[in-house]
Structure 1
Amino acid sequence: MKKQKVNRKYNFPDADLYQMAMDSIRLAKRDLDKFKSGYQYGGHRLKGYHDRCQRFVEMPDDDELLGDQMVVTDKKYEAAEQLRHAIRSVMTRVRMAFSNRTGRYRKFGTAKMGDMTDAQLLFCGRRVIRVARAQWDFLADTGLNESHLERLAKACQAFELAMNIQQDKVADRDIHVESRIDLGNLIYDELITVCDIGKDIWAETDRAKYDAYCIYESNMEQKRIAKQVP
């Protein structure tokens, strides 16, 4: 079964979430005795909250991951162009032996090479090697030799490696983004809990301390209302 997409529970930047969470931790440490006695919220849980915040801020953000992905994508494009050049080098010699209207030429399958997908281009490169070797006797007088095919084979290998690296980076980015959202949601839930406790503690005795816990109250109220809807 395909895993459902993970969505953020908050609609503000991660940097703001981190700062709000750290502010709430500072306030909760000040009021920890009241958190413990009235709500069974002790130092151990607060430390876990703080540790999650530290993991969150140390995780690479999407800009970093996208940058890494772009680097390997550029390398894949370079490898693709080198593969096309190696294929064209072989096909220049093939045209010396066969008209491009003949079946022997079309067997190489290099038409519209610029429109091929990555997989099609890789398949094409390997097919050119295979077909060229099968027609070696007809191509002997064109200057085509084993070194050209070895160069093409190496270009295929380099392109396949670049493809795999790029696909791995895409997958890594998806995994990291999902992990970051999961952790951010946990922090957001704990932020709401801490702020709700803090407001409850000071609601009737200290307006200033109550207000200090009203961090992005509109988002908290929205979350609370959503939980109350059946």
Structure 2
Amino acid sequence: MKKNQVVREFHLTDAILKQKADEFINLLDRDIVEFTDRGYTPTKKTEFTKARNAVDNFPSDEQLEAIKIELTAQKDAARDALSKTMRTILNMAQNVFGLGSAKYKEFGGSDLARQSDAELVRNAKIMSITAEKYLTDLQNEGLTSDKITTLTTQRDTLDLGIDAQAKGISDRDVATEDRIEVLNTLYRLLIKYAGIGQDIFYETDEAKYNDYVIYDTPSGLPEETPIPPTE
């Protein structure tokens, strides 16, 4: 069964949500007598504090994206290095065997730029085997066992880079969902205590009542109604 997509239940920014949680923890301490009467206990304070800390300790979306970008850059650099080595060996084979020869075609597809990362890795494996086979023929072009080893090493590096990038993308997607769930948990607690606070101080203490009012906007402030233009 396909997992339902996790979505944010609020419009506050992460930073404002965290700030509001900090404020509310202090407000509940201030109004502990009234909230104790409504079932607020040290255990529930610990629950609220842990929810706040979970948000604080979780990597931000920007951090997760930066990790993915770095893994992609590493994979791309590995691809560039491998492609350069492969082009050189193809040039050696072309010079010795000719572009349309069967032996040249044994080295694999020459349209390296059009190949996907996975195809390039597969082609590099074919090329390393073929290069070993024709090492003697291509020695005068500069092919050596060390260069074939470099080809193999670069192929393995790209292969690992592909896996690392895929895992990084997957980890980011999972972490993003986990982060949203953590944020939603904190928001639910915030709304719960906001409602209790408003109920406690309704028509008895306007200032304290207002302390527990939350505006579900990115800034946490009421949205301003645009002033109509004057004629």
TM range (shorter): 0.7 to 0.9
Contact 1:90-1:148 at 8 Å conserved across structures: no
Counterpart CA distance in 1 for 2:115 and 2:12 is 41
Contact 2:12-2:216 at 8 Å conserved across structures: no
1:175 pairs with 2:155: no
| Matched residue SS, 1:80 | helix
Matches within 5 A, 1:124-163: 124-136=123-135, 139=138, 142-163=141-162
Gaps of 5+ in 1: 220-230
Post-superposition Cα deviations, 1:57-112, rounded to whole Å, max 9, x if no partner, equal 12110111211222222121111111011111211211122222223222322322
Counterpart CA distance in 2 for 1:86 and 1:6 is 44
Alignment match, 1:21? 21
Q: Match of 1:154, as an amino acid?
A: T
Post-superposition Cα deviations, 1:14-55, rounded to whole Å, max 9, x if no partner, equal 001111122122111222222222x22222112211121012
More helix by share: 1
Seen in structure 2, the aligned counterparts of structure 1 residues 206 and 86 have a Cα distance that, compared at 3 Å, is same
User: Normalised by the size of structure 2, how large is the TM-score?
Assistant: 0.86
| Matched residue SS, 1:2 | coil
Counterpart CA distance in 2 for 1:207 and 1:217 is 20
Matches within 5 A, 1:1-230: 1-37=1-37, 39-136=38-135, 139=138, 142-216=141-215
Contact 2:67-2:168 at 8 Å conserved across structures: yes
Post-superposition Cα deviations, 1:107-155, rounded to whole Å, max 9, x if no partner, equal 3223221121111111111111123334456546544332221110011
Counterpart CA distance in 1 for 2:147 and 2:216 is 69
Q: Match of 2:166, as an amino acid?
A: Q
Counterpart CA distance in 2 for 1:67 and 1:9 is 25
Worse-matched range after superposition: 131-140 or 173-182: 131-140
Alignment match, 2:229? none
Q: Match of 1:5, as an amino acid?
A: Q
Gaps of 5+ in 2: 221-231
Q: Match of 1:3, as an amino acid?
A: K
Seen in structure 2, the aligned counterparts of structure 1 residues 75 and 217 have a Cα distance that, compared at 3 Å, is closer
Contact 2:28-2:35 at 8 Å conserved across structures: yes
Alignment match, 1:225? none
Contact 2:81-2:154 at 8 Å conserved across structures: yes
Quote the RMSD (CA, aligned, Å): 2.0
User: Normalised by the size of structure 1, how large is the TM-score?
Assistant: 0.86
Q: How many percent of aligned residue pairs carry the same amino acid? A: 28
Seen in structure 2, the aligned counterparts of structure 1 residues 120 and 217 have a Cα distance that, compared at 3 Å, is closer
Contact 1:32-1:42 at 8 Å conserved across structures: no
- Corresponding pairs, count: 218
Post-superposition Cα deviations, 1:168-192, rounded to whole Å, max 9, x if no partner, equal 2222222221111111000010111
Measured after TM superposition, the shift of residue 167 of structure 1 is 2.2
Seen in structure 2, the aligned counterparts of structure 1 residues 134 and 4 have a Cα distance that, compared at 3 Å, is farther
Q: Match of 1:22, as an amino acid?
A: D
